[in-house]
Structure 1
């Protein structure tokens, strides 16, 4: 019983957490197995003892295909099903019975389910996403209305189009349906926002948006991309003369969805960028970047989030990396 509790504690951060290796060692002790491995739906993540990596990978693929225990002596494997969703696989080597393997897989699945519930409660405590929806920059709203007003006499048709864009943008930003949107929805809102900004700057803002079709349906936390784009406008372009360029790109890298927002503005010291993301630089004027990073890591895990690549005079590239498919994340 004590060892079972310790395995659950070691899996508090999930299969990719720092305790997964310890959990594998404790499982090997519990089962008196020669070796134990924990895997997600792609690869082995933690191993205790000696396993043939090629044989283990092949058994992992087979087990996940049939969704039931598989034996390939000296290896045995069982799928890990958490709240009805496939989470990974438990592999063992040695004299382990079918009943013991099934019981161990159930133990791991229950530990992962408990860890998910704990993290969900932490996310609710850390950030009320409905409140975040309402944090639309007054600076942007004032400037958008000013741009629309400036066009009412000189170009009434453009003013009507901008007013429609502004209405669409506000409707999306204050939407009350769910905590997630698709990449397609987020980028539509971003394009609307950028059109309003381009009108404000008399078309001095050059915009490029390139999105691969396969990432358009990927679910993403609501209002993640727009704060990044707003920072690119305010800090990369607003205070400088001449034309500025902002590029928004979305593409897949294997199982990942990657979104990049790049500007050719002033840039910043990399240490300042790091401080902004950790939230340790108060009064930086960077709108919600630490919050965006925190939300992404809370939803997907510590290996995902927001990264800033920048240097003084070299512009800034903000990169969001999230899994294309994540258990429990639906738009």
Structure 2
């Protein structure tokens, strides 16, 4: 805590103590609680508004003193002031480079469009007449003099660029002959070329060229290359996470039990003889179910869409189980517009039906409850069944994840039967999407039922 903030907090606390003593201790009879609160509030407001001048002091005066020129006794060395200005200039230049690095389009990957926009941003930042960004084979972008023959999309022509790719280190050219350009009319005379590295791989280069023999500052170009390399690493990590998340989503789609489809088709076939209208409605619902499961794009969807998907699934299961399957919905209307991971709720509900109630002769009830907590900014989804439940051993295996499951051969089969693979898949997807900012809690008692609750950040 800053000194000024601590002083203000202490002063307000002392003020409330004085107000309390005056209104409740020293006065007989004590004043009302409302009077005490009003007096304390007024005093606190006055302190807060008076804080800059009464407690903190005039900030502007200190600022002026900090930047005022030293008196004659302080001006000890000739050139000291100029050195200070030069240092501040270098520091401002570095800050511009860092700020520019934060906005670099290469965060989306090493593409021609991102390279062109990045080169246009870097040209004034790095003080070059021309900027080139390449991959290992092609000039992805070239901005400035020489673009007529170092054209974007064409092969890398400058020997200095090819050398930086091959050697994996910075190449500085201080005269036209060392540039290695095979065009005699090339206006470029000097340059600094730095490789872009992802992991241990050189994926491309950034080059800053000038039309005279004094190259751009090497350290600035290397600093920017380090920033761009970090952006490319993050872009690659994003792609890998997306591929992994898409693979898990595809696995969940493939996991929609074929037996569910066969059982529903058998139910529809049976209904077609006894109640053709209901059979037709069931076919439409089944079509809606698989259309959503297969065609839903992206990793997140509004809860309202997932809710419709779950209700469609449960209506099909109710047609199959009849009165043995009862369903309760307890949905906060605020949840309907919140975004939740696709195909996360339905597998939890399917586990409740398939593993919780299907083996119970009397059937039971599945309850779906969803809430938004505005204080913690989370969406909570709870699926409850009063079915057969799970033994502690199986519950431990599900909670411990794949590593524990590999060491528990006897329980693994039962855990898989309880949907362990699906729960693990959901947990991995939630980790990819939210990191540590989610919870997946499973509670179960054998013979009494199971509760699975998911909490994700509010989107």
Scaled by the length of structure 2, the TM-score of the pair is 0.46
Whether 2:287 is the aligned partner of 1:179: answer no
The alpha-carbon deviation at position 100 of structure 1 amounts to 10
* Pair 1:148-2:280 in alignment: no
For residues 115-144 of structure 1, the C-alpha deviation after alignment (integer angstroms, 9 at most, x for no partner) is 686355245246513343233211211111
Alignment match, 1:256:
378
Are the counterparts in 2 of residues 215 and 324 from structure 1 also a CA contact under 8 Å? Answer: no
Shift in CA distance, 275/103, structure 1 to aligned 2, threshold 3 Å: farther
- SS in structure 1 of the partner of residue 322 of structure 2: coil
Tell me which of 295, 314, 322 is aligned to 2:429: 295
2:441 maps to 1:307: yes
Name the CA distance, whole Å, in 1 between partners of 2:290 and 2:383: 21
Could you tell me which residue of structure 1 aligns to residue 277 of structure 2? 157
- Residue 202 (structure 1) shift: 1.8
1:224 matched residue in structure 2: 344
Deviating more after overlay: 118-127 vs 220-229: 118-127
**The one of 401, 418, 422 aligned to 1:286:** 418
Paired residues of 1:267 and 1:313 also in contact (CA < 8 A): yes
Q: What is the CA distance between 1:101 and its match in structure 2?
A: 9.7
Residue 324 in 1 paired to residue 458 in 2? yes
Please identify, of 253-262 and 111-120, the stretch whose mean Cα deviation from structure 2 is larger. 111-120
Q: Secondary structure at the match of 1:147?
A: helix
The structure that has the greater radius of gyration is 2
Q: Deviations over 1:183-236 (max 9, x none)?
A: 111111111110111111123211011211111122222211111111000111
TM alignment of 1:83-94, pairs within 5 A:
none
The aligned counterpart of 2:328 is: 208
Q: Which has the higher contact order (CA 8 A, sep 6+)?
A: 1
TM (norm. structure 1) is 0.62
Query: 1:85-126: CA deviations, max 9, x gaps?
Result: xxxxxxxxxxxx999999999999988996686355245246
CA contact (8 A) 1:119 1:298 kept: no
Corresponding residue for residue 243 of structure 1: 363
Looking at structure 1, the residues matched to 384 and 258 of structure 2 have their Cα atoms a distance apart, in angstroms, of: 23
What pairs with 1:41-190 in structure 2 (closer than 5 Å)?
A: 118=237, 121-125=240-244, 128=247, 129-190=249-310
CA deviation digits over 1:13-57, x for unaligned, max 9?
Answer: xxxxxxxxxxxxxxxxxxxxxxxxxxxxxxxxxxxxx668x88xx
Change (3 A) 1:165 1:294: same
Q: In 2 relative to 1, CA 195–106 (structure 1 residues): closer, same or farther, beyond 3 Å?
A: same
In structure 2, relative to structure 1, the CA distance for the partners of 1:118 and 1:206 (3 Å cut) is same
Segments of 5+ residues of structure 2 without an aligned counterpart are 10-58, 60-90, 104-226, 406-411
Which residue in the other structure is 2:164 paired with? none
Partner in structure 1 of residue 389 of structure 2: 267
For structure 1, which runs of at least 5 residues remain unmatched after alignment?
1-49, 59-72, 74-96, 326-331
Q: Per the alignment, do residues 209 and 112 of structure 1 end up closer, same or farther by CA in structure 2, a change over 3 Å counting? A: farther
Structure number with the higher strand fraction is 1
- Distance in 1 separating the partners of 2:393 and 2:354: 20
Question: Match of 2:317?
Answer: 197
Would you say the 8 A contact 2:363–2:387 is kept in 1? no
Q: Could you list the runs of 4 or more consecutive aligned residues of structure 1 that deviate by over 6 angstroms after TM superposition?
A: 97-114
Deviation at 1:243, TM superposition (A): 3.3
Over the residues paired in the alignment, what is the CA RMSD in angstroms? 3.2
